[in-house]
Structure 1
Amino acid sequence: MLGLLCLLLAAGPTGCARQADEPRHVLTVLGPWTGREAESFGALLDRFEERNEGVRVDYQGTTATREVLLSGVLAGAPPDVAVLPVLGDLADYVQRNQLRRLDEDIVEDDEYGGPWLSQPTGMSERYWLPVKVDLKSIVWYEKGRSPGTAAREDVARWCIGMGSDATSGWPGSDWIEDILLQRSGADDYDAWATGEMAWTADPVVDAWRTWGAFMSGDDRAAETALTTDHRGPEDGNGLLFDPDRDCDLEHQGSFARSLYGDEAPRADFVASPLLLPGADGQSDVREVSGDFAAMFKESAQARALMRFLASLEAQRAWATGVDPPFFSAHRGVTQEAYPEGDTVSRRIVREFRQAERLCLDASDVMPPAIRRIFHEKVLEFLADPRQDPVRLLEQIQRVKEGLPEDTPWLRRACG
């Protein structure tokens, strides 16, 4: 009867072209990408919708993913899928039974490897997968302007900002983490990031003191960093291309090109060991970060989306779907997947592939309470970078020692 009615109405303006004008299943997705990055992710979600009739994806992008997600979880209305840059939070959600387990075959070790599939100690099931990754042991500069190794001692040349909405301070933790990694090596870094090394241990204290001495090299450097947003001025092209700032180097992840806007093609980079204060210039280990997708509400549609995001098709789309492109941890996405003329992206991929070891951002893998106080103490340290950091590190250590015994820690941070 419905088919006959559709035939009778076919000549009308509405007809039954969508006889199934039935409501589609709506998936809600929360993620950290806004602006151009959100547009790229939206294009990828469009592909998913085309392959899954009857499914619509509503994406919400925010720089305050942790706060928005926590609010939804506490209200009993989490998104179907959330993408977070912090494995420490996801491990905490697993312990609280908030995440849904993924299919066993959704990602394979031989497809990703490295640190990307790291899990908490004692956990065998998989609850998240890497959607997008970034290189953090990197220093940006303007093409045609040689950075020069003298920058190791000249803080005035560096574009540094600690501001980042609710998570201010993390750019400073990136400095400390990378200095520790490049001075003390991956084993010490891994032990510290996974809770096996005390915050008052020599490698940690040494990294803080090295950064403090560097930031003290100019009387205005620390104060300027505390009052500057890491993204640069609103509607600008990041700190590196801010005409009101006299700086030409920036220690920022590979995602920084999304901040540089129209100036992104003018940005080039060197590996951070060449320029970081006190770093071993020959170091071949690299700090990296990732955005990881996890399923908070179980459904066939949510599982299909997670499988799609892990697929080689979706991961390859990062290479050409946005300018500047995203990066993938999937071994099938080689440098040849990126446009031939995009030599910067291809070199970043080589850094991922050729590094002796890759180590996840330490604060991202730490339990939430440790990450928060780490960022707070970074800001407190910058208020007087000449101070001995031991007092601040003892405070972080006390918080660590006060954590419940069942607090989840990642098994490893370095691949």
Structure 2
Amino acid sequence: MRGTRTGRPVRGGRTAALGALSLLLVLAGPVGCARDAAEPRRALTVLGPWTGGEQESFEELLELFEAEQGVSVEYQGTTATREVLLSGLLAGDPPDVAVLPVLGDLVDYEREGFLEPLGEGVVDEEKYDGGPWLAQPAGMDERHWIPVKVDLKSIVWHEKGRRPDPSRADAERWCVGMGSDATSGWPGSDWIEDVLLQQSGHEAYEEWAAGEMEWTEEAVVRAWRTWGEFMSGDGGRTAREALTTDHRGPEGGNGLLFGTGPGGGCELEHQGSFARHLYGPRAPEADFVPSPRLLPGAADRDGRDREVSADFAAMFRASPEGQELMRFLASPEAQRVWAKDEEGWARGEIPFFSAHEDVGEESYPAGGRDTVSRRVVRELERAGRLCLDASDVMPPMIRRVFYEKVLEFLADPGQDPTGLLGRIQEVQEESERQFRQRFRREPERLDRICR
């Protein structure tokens, strides 16, 4: 049985208005229904955000599933998962499984009836109690997604052997790039989110991320001002360069930390644990410190709250094979394979991090080239609170405007951010008004954003 929340559209026999997804687009027209769950399907399609080396690691994992189940799996990796998925939904041909890095989109898809419930036994929920990985709207009666990969965000990367001096964390020493194709601006949102978390605490952070605190409240304004003052510290040069710099660094390079040219060859980079995939062959030279030690405005330099992100898998077509793939991706056995071993690191592969409590520090390389992975896991396991990336859990429309205003703010980081934040608040209130009008209820709030 599908979800039973009042006013929720049911998939069977309906016409989908894709514009209702995120209240952004108005794309009216019939969208194909899922194939009958009883129809045998011996081939699966998977859409995900991983390309390059990350894609190769994931495809190795899928090969194990293919060998075990006799099911062929075709993976499509793209940095434009949202656009590709919407195109497939509009054409009535979505992938069987999609992995998305933003929970806010999945909430919209579930509300519109595009997601298939996972069924009993796919997720052992007790094994994810150590974090916010199972966050979902209050009142959702079935689980529709699972975390398959997680990352630690409240960290600052530096070159091994060059431990940063907290007293000299001025802007000109930092690698900062806002470019990211259709989602440019998100690296700046990470800065603001982490500043707010370390400056005002997890309760204020969660209230803001859930949409229960207005954007013009003091905690939010103060975080923007703190970041703006920091980015203005070198006359705004770092801010200006960030607007024209890709966060991945130059194509074919080694990311920003080890790169050259604008934004590169710097000393510090506020970036998630996935950043080592950007550093190429120089990844083993990268080390990190927790961000509170260097972040402007941090109230406690030894603070234990950490911002995190996750990639979530969801099923868009019902089939026994799809259920088996979801169960496989959630299993500790598959997660341990993804963590890799010393042999994997000898091939230059970088581990993925798991939210599963049975895949702990001991699952990662003990020494040699990689002591950093175990330290990342240690931070995840010993944090006071883990808080999901705030923009990732926001509705897509709010997230998009957030990114836009980050870019506008960086163009003049010394400005009073109140006007920009007021505009985001207006968009949020309008989207909530439209939601009430369409669904005849209050917007659902995600629970356990911090845990």
Q: TM-score range by the shorter chain?
A: over 0.9
Check conservation: 2:122, 2:323, Cα contact below 8 A. no
Corresponding residue to 1:256 among 261, 275, 281: 275
Over the matched positions of the two proteins, sequence identity in percent amounts to 67
Paired residue secondary structure (1:302): helix
CA distance in 1, matches of 2:198, 2:274: 21
CA distance in 1, matches of 2:95, 2:149: 19
The answer to whether the aligner puts 1:409 opposite 2:428 as a matched pair is no
TM-score normalised over the length of structure 1:
0.92
CA distance in 2, matches of 1:118, 1:84: 14
Alignment of 1:6-405 (within 5 A): 25-53=42-70, 55-113=71-129, 114-152=131-169, 154-219=170-235, 220-244=237-261, 245-279=264-298, 280-320=300-340, 323-341=349-367, 342-403=370-431, 404-405=435-436
Paired residue secondary structure (2:46): strand
Check conservation: 1:288, 1:361, Cα contact below 8 A. yes
User: Any stretches of 5+ residues in structure 2 without a counterpart?
Assistant: 1-39, 437-441
Paired residue secondary structure (2:378): helix
Paired residue secondary structure (2:126): coil
* TM-fit CA distance, 1:324: 1.2
Please tell me the residue identity of whatever aligns with 1:47. L
* TM-fit CA distance, 1:334: 1.0
Please tell me the residue identity of whatever aligns with 2:118. L
1:316/1:402 Cα in 2 relative to 1: closer, same or farther (>3 Å)? Answer: same
* TM-fit CA distance, 1:282: 2.0
Check conservation: 1:237, 1:263, Cα contact below 8 A. yes
Paired residue secondary structure (2:125): coil
* TM-fit CA distance, 1:246: 4.1
CA distance in 1, matches of 2:146, 2:171: 37
Please tell me the residue identity of whatever aligns with 2:46. V
* TM-fit CA distance, 1:411: 2.0
Check conservation: 1:91, 1:408, Cα contact below 8 A. no
Q: Which has the larger radius of gyration?
A: 1
Paired residue secondary structure (1:60): strand
CA distance in 2, matches of 1:394, 1:259: 35
Moved over 2 A (4+): 243-246, 405-409
Check conservation: 2:41, 2:321, Cα contact below 8 A. no
Check conservation: 1:178, 1:287, Cα contact below 8 A. yes
Paired residue secondary structure (1:39): helix
CA distance in 1, matches of 2:338, 2:197: 28
The C-alpha deviation readout for 1:155-197, integer Å capped at 9, x for no partner, is 0000000000110000000000000000101000000001111
Please tell me the residue identity of whatever aligns with 1:330. H
* TM-fit CA distance, 1:410: 1.2
CA distance in 2, matches of 1:371, 1:271: 25
The C-alpha deviation readout for 1:366-395, integer Å capped at 9, x for no partner, is 111110000010001111111100000000
Check conservation: 1:209, 1:388, Cα contact below 8 A. yes
Check conservation: 2:41, 2:319, Cα contact below 8 A. no
Paired residue secondary structure (2:377): helix
The C-alpha deviation readout for 1:301-327, integer Å capped at 9, x for no partner, is 101100000011111112105621100
The C-alpha deviation readout for 1:205-255, integer Å capped at 9, x for no partner, is 000000000010113111100000000000000000013334110000000
CA distance in 2, matches of 1:189, 1:386: 23
CA distance in 2, matches of 1:57, 1:263: 32
CA distance in 2, matches of 1:303, 1:319: 23
CA distance in 1, matches of 2:114, 2:125: 25
Check conservation: 1:140, 1:270, Cα contact below 8 A. yes
CA distance in 1, matches of 2:445, 2:62: 32
CA distance in 2, matches of 1:340, 1:352: 17
The C-alpha deviation readout for 1:55-102, integer Å capped at 9, x for no partner, is 100000000111111111111111000000100000000000000001
Check conservation: 2:256, 2:265, Cα contact below 8 A. no
Paired residue secondary structure (1:402): helix
Check conservation: 1:28, 1:58, Cα contact below 8 A. yes
CA distance in 1, matches of 2:120, 2:230: 47
CA distance in 2, matches of 1:99, 1:206: 38
Please tell me the residue identity of whatever aligns with 2:446. L
Aligned to 1:14: none
User: Any stretches of 5+ residues in structure 1 without a counterpart?
Assistant: 1-22
Paired residue secondary structure (1:286): strand
Please tell me the residue identity of whatever aligns with 1:115. P
* TM-fit CA distance, 1:409: 3.1
Q: CA RMSD in A?
A: 1.3
Check conservation: 1:79, 1:297, Cα contact below 8 A. yes
Check conservation: 1:87, 1:292, Cα contact below 8 A. yes
What is the aligned length?
A: 391
